[in-house]
Amino acid sequence: MNHFLDIHKTDKAALRGIIDTARRVKEARLGRPKAMPDDDLPLKDRMVALIFEKPSTRTRVSFDLGVRQMGGQTMVLSGSDMQLGHGETIADTARVLSRYVDMIMIRTFDEAVLEEMAEFASVPVINGLTDRSHPCQIMADVMTFEEHRGPIAGKKVVWCGDGNNVCSSFLHAAGQFGFDFTFTGPVQLDPEMEFVGLARNQGARVTIERDPLKAVEGADLVVADTWVSMHDAQSARERRHNMLRPYQVDKRLMEHAKPDALFMHCLPAHREEEVTSEVMDGPNSVIWDEAENRLHAQKAIMRWCVGG
């Protein structure tokens, strides 16, 4: 049994194996030379609980579909259904769910909820997102980059905007996969220094550059994310927009990166805010491949969790 809680908490060899498996899963799904037999159903007769304390489109659809494609069934539970931590402890909820299901994916706010769930569950637990990290997304992003440009090791990834949970997982991945990472954004929204230090200690070159045009020079990949959360008040939204407007990814910014630099966004995107439609729909954008690869990467993660 393996938990998939964060990229920096997972063995490098296991991460590489997951990426390789994801590519084979995708090839088989697309009807290309079969990398896996049709009867290879690692979740056959298994039940997976999908817990959502936060709303979701891609995470919910991709995990639900992935479980079904591997022969399993899903039970989708919302935070209001379960009221995690209100009355019954997270630990007791984990113990009870472990008696009913074979795997738990949880998308929650507080990282401590994920960690407690994993500590007391006797089945694999997968991090579908917390306020601090989003590892499944970055596994799909690494897979997408390598599909288009080959190994990501030694490449330059530039994050534009807010040093949020997705940015944190990119820093985790920089150390584990061996690529350089540059953050460009306002000082108030810098990524967690703990994670910057973690990546540097693993040999990754991590740079913070306030000038976005300088930051993207020589970039192989430019990444953006939404500037505001659905939970932010209007006044907070306005402040964040004012801070982040200089870091919008537009055609001019992309022209300062390498000519073949890719653009990614984990979606949903607010067009003409953090990125222009010209970039999102342009030749360097791989956002739709990135979204699709959530399915394949998560199927590979679930296979690894059950020892497949």
> Please, which residues bridge with residue 275 across strands?
249, 271
- Residue 73 φ/ψ, nearest 5 degrees: -125, 155
- Rounded CA-CA distance 301/308 in Å is 9
Strands (E), 226-290: 262-265
The residues carrying an active-site annotation are: 107, 134, 137, 225, 266, 294
Contacts of 50 (CB under 8 A, 6+ apart): 60, 63, 64, 67, 74, 75, 76, 77, 105, 128
CA 144, distance to chain mean position in Å, is 12
- Rounded CA-CA distance 141/138 in Å is 5
Both tokens assigned to 197: 């230090």
- Residue 142 φ/ψ, nearest 5 degrees: -60, -45
The letter for the amino acid at 245 is: R
* DSSP structure string for 215-241: HTTT-SEEEE--SS-TT--HHHHHHHH
Instruction: Using the CB atoms, write b or e for 287-304: b if 16+ within 10 Å.
Output: bebbbbbbbbbbbbbbbb
Task: Provide the 8-state DSSP code for 249.
Answer: B
